Every structure is written in structure tokens, then in C-alpha cells.
Amino acid sequence: MSTSSFPTSAVVFALITLPFCAPDTFKAAVYEHAVILPSETEIPVSQDDALILMNKNIDILETAIKQAAGQGAQIIVTPEDALYGWKFTRESIFPYLEDIPDPKVNWIPCQDPQRFGHSPVQKRLSCLAKSNSIYVVANIGDKKKCNARDSKCPSNGYYQYNTNVVYNSEGKLVARYHKYHLYSEPQFDAPDKPELVTFKTTFGTFGIFTCFDILFHDPAVTLVEDHQVDTILFPTAWMNVLPFLTAIEFHSAWAMGMRVNLLAANTHKVGQNMTGNL
Ligand SMILES: *[C@@H]1O[C@H](CO)[C@@H](O)[C@H](O)[C@H]1NC(C)=O
């Protein structure tokens, strides 16, 4: 459990200049979150207990979101696995998952939380975006029913995805990205092919991917080269590894090399060498 000696996590603000659109700057926040982890067990907890843990983490994110919005940030990025940590089996992650629809359904979970079944996490994140008038980028788990006619359908009848979601300042779901390059995550499935997810705002065009994805050509490089994004949103649970793979070093080098803004939000877990936002 993550109890000892964490410094108070800080909200880090960066002013970012977008060369090609007006207004030509925007204010963004990235939050390095010390995740409250579940107790270590492979026995699945109830959906209610899973929600209790996720809500404890969201309580902390809520404080960060309010602070960020209060200081004029238009978007805040929170880390990968920020609501429940990373150590799961397919069975033990299941109670944490919700069905996350394609953003083209045009959904504000805060206003219509029952539309796609049990969605308390999506509802709460959407309401935080809406009530604070800020874009909220979060990482949660998606489940998608499949059946035996699909030969790749997992034995529990669901695909399970490590998923980034973005809610706009009205609380509407505007982006959903399923992580492609999983890193020791037996609890999740990769989508069939890399997803190229972008969305436009009044303050720029954004692309999104997750953690280990940054080490591969697709979707990361293709998003920047072929989709005219100004900024990449990058939730991560990045373990710093010397000499070349520490978070700030590697992520800033990638942003410079690709000539794009990168908003990286890492988890804060010093004992596992997970620190560093930019
Ligand atoms: C963290 O990094 C240090 C220095 O590179 C290394 O000695 C240690 O084994 C790492 N810890 C973990 C949990 O990987």
C-alpha cells in the first residue's frame, strides 16, 4: 500500500504556445497522482467495493481539477491507472470496468448517466468537467461484450481495454482511446489495430495515446505526422529506468523530436520509480 513519505502531490501548470491557431496560448494542468491502491488479492472484489476505491482516488483528482480550473487551466490530464492501480488479473479488474461508448453517440454522462448502463465513474468524471468548465482527461477501464462467433472473444465474453477518456467543458465525452501497446497487463486486451484518436477544441487539435505506446511508431508518430495535432495527451504509469528511459528525459525528448506539445501525467509511486510530469 502507498502510505509512507509521499510529498504532497502537486498540480503542475505549463503555459503552452500553439503556433498555428488563435488564441495562441492555452493553460493546461498535468497531475501526478499517488494512486490509492486496492489490497493485493486475486479474488475479485464486488462492484461496490471497486467503486468505493475509485471514488477515493477521484476525490483526490477532484481537488486537483478544481485547483487547476481555479487557476485558469482549460484542460487537465490525469495519469494512467489513476483510479485503481496496475496489478490485476483479467478477473480481478473486471468489477472496475464500465462500458465506454464511442464518442460519436454524443453523450454527456453527467446529464444522462443511465444511457449506457452502470456508469458511475463516467458520470462523475463528466460532472467534474462540466461543473468546473474544464476538459478532463482520465484513464479508466472499458469492457465490450463479444460472443463465441468471434474466435478471439475471451472466455469471460468481454474484451477489456485500458482506456483514455476525454470530457469537454460541458461534460461531453469527446475522445476514447484504447491502449494498443500493453506493458505486462494481463488484465487487458489490445484493440485489433492502433486507434488514431484526435479531437478539436477552440484552443487546438489534440491527439491521445498511453504510456508504452510512446515507444512505437503507431499510433504515436502517425498521429503527429498525418493528423496535424498541436498537442498530445499522455496519461502514463511510467517507471523511470536509467539511463535512457526516465520520464522527463524521454518524454521531453520525444516532444522536441516530434515538434509537438506533450502533456504527460505520471503516477506518483517513488518506491517503484514512478515520478515525473511535463
Ligand atoms: C529504481 O531505480 C534504481 C536506480 O536505477 C534501481 O536501483 C531500482 O532497482 C529501481 N527500482 C525498481 C522497483 O525498479
Asked whether the predicted pLDDT for residue 4 surpasses 90, the reply is: no
pLDDT confidence tier of residue 46, bands split at 50, 70 and 90: very high
Q: What is the pLDDT of residues 65-89, one digit of tens each?
A: 999 999 999 999 999 999 999 999 9
Minimum mean pLDDT range among 56-60, 173-177, 223-227, 268-272: 268-272
The residue count for the chain: 278
Residue from 145, 233, 235 nearest 197 by CA: 233
**DSSP H/E element including 67:** helix 47-70
For residues 171-190, average pLDDT: 97
Catalytic residue among 80, 110, 172, 185: 80
CB of 100 closer than 8 Å to CB of 120: no
The answer on pLDDT for 43 being more than 60 is yes
Predicted local distance difference test score (pLDDT) of residue 73: 96
140 Cα–ligand 1 center, Å: 27
Pocket probe for ligand 1: among 183, 273, 275, the residue whose CB has the most ligand atoms within 8 Å is 273
Q: What is the pLDDT of residue 174?
A: 98
Instruction: State the virtual CA torsion across 77, 82, 83, 87 in degrees, nearest 10.
Output: 150
- Residue 215 CA: distances (Å) to CA of 103, 163, 181, 200, 251: 26, 18, 9, 25, 10
Is the CB of 63 inside a 6 Å radius of any atom of ligand 1? no
* Distance from the Cα of residue 208 to its chain's centroid: 9
- Record the cell numbers describing residue 59, joined without a space: 476525490
Higher pLDDT, 51 or 22: 51
Check: CB of residue 165 under 8 Å from CB of residue 175. yes
Q: Please, where are the H alpha helices in 86-134? A: 90-93, 120-132
- CA nearest ligand 1 atom 2, residue: 273
Strands, E, within the chain: which ranges? 11-17, 25-31, 75-77, 135-145, 158-167, 173-178, 198-201, 204-208, 231-236, 261-266
- Using a 6 Å cutoff on CB, does residue 242 contact ligand 1? yes
Catalytic residue among 143, 172, 185, 211: 211
The answer to whether residue 7 scores a pLDDT higher than 50 is no
Annotated active-site residue 179? The verdict is yes
Domain at 2-272, CATH class: alpha beta
192-251, pLDDT tens digit by residue?
Answer: 999 999 999 999 999 999 999 999 999 999 999 999 999 999 999 999 989 888 999 999
Q: What does the block give as the cell for 262?
A: 506533450
Which residue shows C-alpha cell 458520470? 123
SS3 track for 203-261: CEEEEECCHHHHHCHHHHHHHHHHCCCCEEEEEECCCCECCCECHHHHHHHHHHHHCCE
Q: Which atom of ligand 1 is nearest to the CA of 271?
A: 13
pLDDT-derived band at 148, boundaries 50, 70, 90:
confident
Give just the sign of the alpha carbon dihedral 201, 203, 206, 210. negative
Chain mean pLDDT for the chain: 91
